C-alpha cells in the first residue's frame, strides 16, 4: 500500500480557541448514528455552530475563512490544549478532515485523537504555550497568509514568522515516510504474530 509522504502541509489557517475541546463537541453523538464516515464533514462542531433555534451562532467554523478551507479541502486548524479529549470516536478527526483540515497545530492533543488523526495522514503539531499564543494571534490578524506545517523540519511558518514545533517521533517518521497508516507494517509481521499468539495461554484456549 503506497501512501503519500506528508512532509509538509500548507494552507489557510483557522483558529478555534479553547482548551479541553472534547470530541462530543467536535462531532455530537447523534451524528455517530451511521455506518460510514461519508458526509460527516458538514456536521463538524455542529452544536457550536448552530443554536438550539437552528440559527447560526458566531463560531470560527462559520467564518468565510472556514468556507475557504472547505473549498480548498486543505487547511490548518490552530487549537488550544488537550484538543480532542473524551470519546475515542474517529468520527471527530474524520469530520474535520472531511471538512477540509489537513493539519492541526495546538498546545497539546488527547492521545486517541492524536493517533486517529495520524492514521489519516493528518499531522498534529505541538507548539510551546507562548509560541501558540503568538501563532494564534498571527493567524487571526492575517487570515490571508498561508501557514506551513513542516513535519520534516518540525517548524510552523507563516510569512516571516516561524515557530519551533514538535510531534512524537514515531508519528513524524510515519508521516514523512508515507507509512502513517500502519496496516502494511502490521500485516508484514503476521508470522511473528502467530508466534506470539502461541505463547499466550488465553489465546490458545487455556
Q: Can you give the binding site for other proteins, defined by CB under 8 A?
A: 18-20, 22, 24-25, 28-30, 32-37, 47, 51-52, 81-82, 85-91, 93, 108, 110-112, 115-116, 119-120, 168-170, 173-174, 177, 179, 181-183, 185-187, 189-190, 192-193, 195-197, 199-203, 206
Cell numbers representing residue 49 in the block: 455552530
Going from the C-alpha of 158 to that of each of 12, 132, 142, the distances in angstroms are 10, 13, 9
In whole angstroms, how close is the CB of 17 to other proteins at the nearest point?
Answer: 8
In whole angstroms, how close is the CB of 205 to other proteins at the nearest point?
Answer: 8
Nearer to other proteins, 83 or 148 (CB): 83
Nearer to other proteins, 159 or 182 (CB): 182
In contact, 156 and 150? CB cutoff 8 Å: yes
In whole angstroms, how close is the CB of 190 to other proteins at the nearest point?
Answer: 7
Nearer to other proteins, 83 or 99 (CB): 83
In whole angstroms, how close is the CB of 117 to other proteins at the nearest point?
Answer: 9
SS3 125: strand
| Exposure b/e, 85-100, CB count within 10 A at least 16 = b | bbbebbbbbbbbbbbb
In contact, 6 and 152? CB cutoff 8 Å: no
Nearer to other proteins, 38 or 144 (CB): 38
Do the strands 124-127 and 161-166 form a parallel or antiparallel pair, or are they unpaired? antiparallel
Cell numbers 487455556 correspond to what residue? 206
Amino acid at each position: 500500500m503506497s501512501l503519500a509522504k506528508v512532509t509538509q502541509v500548507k494552507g489557510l489557517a483557522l483558529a478555534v480557541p479553547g482548551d479541553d475541546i472534547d470530541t462530543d463537541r467536535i462531532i455530537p453523538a447523534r451524528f455517530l448514528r451511521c455506518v460510514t464516515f461519508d458526509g460527516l464533514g458538514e456536521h463538524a462542531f455542529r452544536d457550536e455552530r448552530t443554536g438550539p433555534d437552528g440559527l447560526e451562532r458566531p463560531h470560527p467554523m462559520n467564518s468565510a475563512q472556514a468556507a475557504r478551507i472547505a473549498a480548498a479541502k486543505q487547511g490548518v486548524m490552530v487549537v488550544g490544549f488537550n484538543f480532542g479529549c473524551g470519546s475515542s470516536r474517529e468520527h471527530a478527526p474524520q469530520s474535520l478532515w472531511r471538512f477540509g483540515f489537513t493539519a492541526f497545530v495546538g498546545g497539546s492533543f488527547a492521545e486517541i485523537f492524536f493517533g486517529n488523526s495520524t492514521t489519516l495522514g493528518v499531522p498534529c503539531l505541538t507548539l510551546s504555550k507562548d509560541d501558540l499564543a503568538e501563532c494564534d494571534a498571527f493567524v487571526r490578524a492575517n487570515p490571508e497568509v498561508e501557514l506551513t506545517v513542516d513535519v520534516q523540519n518540525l517548524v510552523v511558518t507563516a510569512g516571516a514568522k516561524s515557530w519551533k514545533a514538535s510531534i512524537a517521533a514515531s508519528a513524524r517518521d510515519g508521516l514523512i515516510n508515507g507509512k502513517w497508516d500502519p496496516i502494511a507494517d502490521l500485516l508484514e509481521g503476521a508470522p511473528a504474530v502467530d508466534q506470539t499468539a502461541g505463547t499466550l495461554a488465553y489465546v490458545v484456549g487455556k
